[in-house]
Chains A and B, each alone.
Chain A
């Protein structure tokens, strides 16, 4: 083939696979305000915008206009009915970033089925932990069927067997089913919409039940009040679609606003973080979100390429999903300023799956606001007192202000006794409003534990208010945050306790804040073995199971038997163990031995 012919070939492919346009010239933009997800898609399908999927190498591989998505969803709805599913049944679907997942998620909306987007496995050696997680999730949603890619079928079959779920369909098998001719009944305005797994440990996952009303309220808040979306916007996302920020923020909300989205999958981003920025430059994207760690990773990987990029269209660079770190944002802004990136585009925000996604956004038109407070009063008296300019940097602590709650939503900070606190007093954060979940699916006990009779949701986060804006300072619960993921210490402990000869109560896992403000995971293990070889074997095995189950690096600290503190009711005191460790009351046994040896040597 001649070079010219090859070029024409390429052009033909490009012409065939043209990404969707930025906006609809002939269709008025509506920023949500629909009654159901299906109604929102019916409207978006009248235009030309939609979803575009890029491969791991950054090549446009699938274009799915909202019109095509709607017709595929309607066909898929009929196939799901053919599979024997009945209105209200829960359909788990592995949320790999691609048209297949979208067809099932939206197909469920038209068939009156409740989709439950589930994660895939990304860890080396993580199969067994993943299978167990799948079982727990299917149980929590009492799922009637699972739809998966053929790649993961083996894993899912194993997980489904554990949960007693008999119907496991690959996308190919589902699409091969006939389209049932029944009259489809889409979900109505008073119905549920989907189940989001985002809360609870692996051993006891919880499904957040989101109603059509909640998703309507939240997407409207995101589009109209938070991001203030217009026809010149184009979104970009690498966030996982099984996570609220990916699903609500970058699939449902854009669809409700007829905004085109360009996607790479999360594994593609993890492998090539710079691809995020390169494709945003190519597409002149205006809106994208990431936890702080994503900005950190991309800034470190972009190297000399920054100068070739044009990020000047990026007007809303959202941060959510973890503690917003001012130092990371500054580093990213400095590195990417050569690409025309505007530091004022940073948009810290706060939210959680229990509130559909968004609770508060900082003002998109303003630069980020950093509150620097005195560290000592913060730690000792629970107040956020502004630091003096003359104070040493070790004596102060900086927090990023995360904005005001969405209209129609309330946010209060309360003390341990439940009294509402004033500005700059640190306490527990509570939120209320139309975006809240209706509860954890079939789990009244867990729901009652977080939503009180007054309708306020206990977020589990600590912080303070500042002129109506929220500042997050940390967590009340033991949750460990790592690269934007929630890790439950119970999961790490349970996994480690499976290692011989450990027993229940031998392990305490928690996070300590590292020098960079990130969580460092510490795993304390009561060690009854004595030889060096046995000690190192134990350390290695614990480290291995923690990796396989949580995908996180950790410091395994072996401590003497019976040294971990317990509560009066006989339960492991995680907070007590952490306190004892941080204060130096618990020391690694090999270190103790060497200290003892040094001591003896000195005494001789």
Chain B
């Protein structure tokens, strides 16, 4: 499953406000590990993604998502399904 560059870009934009590390966001960035975001903030970010793309991402899928490109692939698959 590969993600579109547009989706990756958009997710980076949505994630930037949660990124307090100053590290540049790329498709390989691991969302929780690299950015030191706590679990509540991650939920908040996932909601932003859901609202922006008008999709729902179940928690079991969230639990299998690590990097920005993982998340972008999930988004693309769900946008397509909808």
Contact A123 B63 (CB under 8 A): yes
Question: Is there contact, CB below 8 Å, between B34 and A540?
Answer: yes
Q: Which applies to chain B's interface (DSSP): helix, strand, loop or mixed? A: helix
Q: How far is the CB of B73 from chain A (nearest CB, A)?
A: 14
B3 within 8 A of A: no
Task: Chain A residues near B46: list those with CB within 8 A.
Answer: 124, 271
**Chain A 107-129 interface mask (CB, 8 Å, partner B; 1/0):** 00000000000001111111100
User: With A124-B32, A540-B34 in contact, do A267 and B59 touch (Cβ < 8 Å)?
Assistant: yes
Mark interface residues in B59-73 (1 if CB within 8 Å of A CB, else 0). 110111110000000
Per a CB cutoff under 8 Å, which of B34, B38, B44, B64 touches A483?
A: B38
Nearest A residue to B33 by beta-carbon distance? Answer: A544
The segment from A151-159, A196-204, A249-257, A411-419 that touches chain B is: A151-159
Contacts of A543 in B (CB 8 A): 33-34, 36
Whether A151 lies near B59 (C-beta < 8 A) is: yes
Q: Is the C-beta of B42 less than 8 angstroms from some C-beta in chain A? A: yes
Inter-chain CA distance A385–B40, complex, in Å, is: 37
The verdict on A548 contacting chain B, using a C-beta distance below 8 Å, is yes
Which residues in A have their C-beta under 8 angstroms from that of B38? 482-483, 551-553
Cα distance A122–B30 when bound, in Å?
Answer: 16
Q: Which has the most chain B C-beta neighbours within 10 Å: A270, A272, A293, A540?
A: A270
Q: List, in ascending order, chain A residues with CB within 8 A of B44's CB.
A: 270-271
**Contact in complex: A155, B47 (CB < 8 Å):** no
Complex contact A125–B37 (CB within 8 A): no
Residue of B nearest to A150 (CB): B60
Q: Does B43 contact A (CB under 8 A)?
A: yes
CB proximity of A332 to chain B, nearest CB, Å: 16
Option from A121, A272, A483, A545 in Cβ contact (under 8 Å) with B60: A121
**How many B residues face the partner with a CB closer than 8 A?**
23
Contact between chains at B39 and A125 (CB < 8 Å): no
B22 beta carbon closer than 8 Å to chain A? no
Give every chain B residue within 8 A of A270 (Cβ-Cβ).
Answer: 39-40, 43-44
Structural contact, A120 and B59, CB atoms closer than 8 A: yes
Q: Is A152 a contact of B60 with CB atoms below 8 Å?
A: yes
Q: Which residues of A sit under 8 angstroms from B63, Cβ to Cβ? A: 121-127, 130, 155
Are B65 and A124 in contact, CB atoms less than 8 angstroms apart?
yes
CA distance A145 to B11 in the complex (A): 40
Q: Is A60 at the interface (CB under 8 A from chain B)?
A: no
Choose from A121, A125, A483, A545 the contact partner of B31 (Cβ within 8 Å).
Answer: A125
A267-B59, A271-B47, A272-B47 given; A125·B40 CB < 8 A: no
Interface residue? A315 (CB, 8 A): no
* Docked CA distance A267–B50 (Å): 13
Give chain A residues whose Cβ lies under 8 Å from the Cβ of B66: 124-125
- B60: A residues at CB distance < 8 A: 121, 127, 151-152, 154-155
A123 to B60, CA, bound (A): 9
Q: Which residues of chain A are near B17, meaning CB under 8 Å? A: none
B59 to chain A, nearest CB (A): 6
Checking A120, A122, A154 against B43 with a beta-carbon cut-off of 8 angstroms, the contacting residue is A122
Complex contact B59–A540 (CB within 8 A):
no
Residues of chain B within 8 A of A545, CB atoms compared: 33
Bound Cα distance from A124 to B47, whole angstroms: 12
Known contacts A121-B59, A123-B63, A124-B62; A540/B33 CB under 8 A: yes
- A522-557, CB < 8 A from B: 540-541, 543-545, 547-548, 551-554
* Pick from B43, B58, B64, B65: contact of A271, CB under 8 Å: B43
CA distance A540 to B66 in the complex (A): 14
* Residue from B31, B34, B39, B64 in contact with A122 in the complex, judged by beta carbons closer than 8 Å: B39
Nearest B residue (CB) for A485: B39
With a cutoff of 8 Å between Cβ atoms, the chain B residues found around residue A154 in the complex are: 60
A297 within 8 A of B: yes
- Bound Cα distance A362, B27 (Å): 51
Contact of A552 among B33, B39, B62, B64 (CB under 8 A): B39
Q: How far is the CB of A98 from chain B (nearest CB, A)?
A: 13
Q: Interface readout for A471-507 with B: 1 if CB under 8 Å, 0 if not?
A: 0000000000011000000000000000000000000
Q: B38: nearest residue on chain A (CB-CB)?
A: A553
Report how far A544 CA is from B31 CA in the complex, Å.
Answer: 9
Q: Which residues of A sit under 8 angstroms from B37, Cβ to Cβ?
A: 553
Pair A544/B30 contact, Cβ less than 8 Å: yes
With A270-B44, A271-B44, A551-B39 known as contacts, the answer to whether A123 contacts B34 (CB < 8 A) is: no
Closest to A130 in B: B63
Q: Chain A contacts of B42 at CB under 8 A? A: 123-124
Q: How far is the CA of A122 from the CA of B58 in the complex (A)?
A: 10
List of A residues within 8 angstroms of B40 by Cβ: 270, 293, 297, 483
User: A130-B63, A152-B60 are known contacts. Are A125 and B43 too (CB-CB below 8 A)?
Assistant: no
Residues in chain A near residue B30, CB distance under 8 A? 125, 544
- Of B36, B47, B58, most buried by chain A (CB within 10 Å of CB) is B36
Q: Which residues of B contact A122 (CB under 8 A)?
A: 39, 43, 59, 62-63
Contacts of A130 in B (CB 8 A): 63
Task: Say which residue of A151, A483, A541 sits within 8 Å of B58 (CB atoms).
Answer: A151
Contacting A at CB under 8 A, from B1-58, are 30-34, 36-40, 42-44, 46-47, 58
Give the residues in chain B near A121, CB-CB below 8 Å: 59-60, 62-63
Q: Which residues of B contact A (CB under 8 A)?
A: 30-34, 36-40, 42-44, 46-47, 58-60, 62-66
Interface, chain A (partner B; CB < 8 A): 120-127, 130, 151-152, 154-155, 267, 270-272, 293, 297, 482-483, 540-541, 543-545, 547-548, 551-554
Q: List 10 A-B contacts (CB under 8 A).
A: A122-B39, A123-B32, A123-B63, A125-B33, A270-B40, A271-B46, A544-B30, A544-B33, A547-B32, A547-B36
* A152-B59, A272-B47, A483-B39 known, 8 other contacts, Cβ within 8 Å: A120-B59, A124-B63, A125-B31, A151-B60, A293-B40, A544-B30, A551-B38, A553-B36
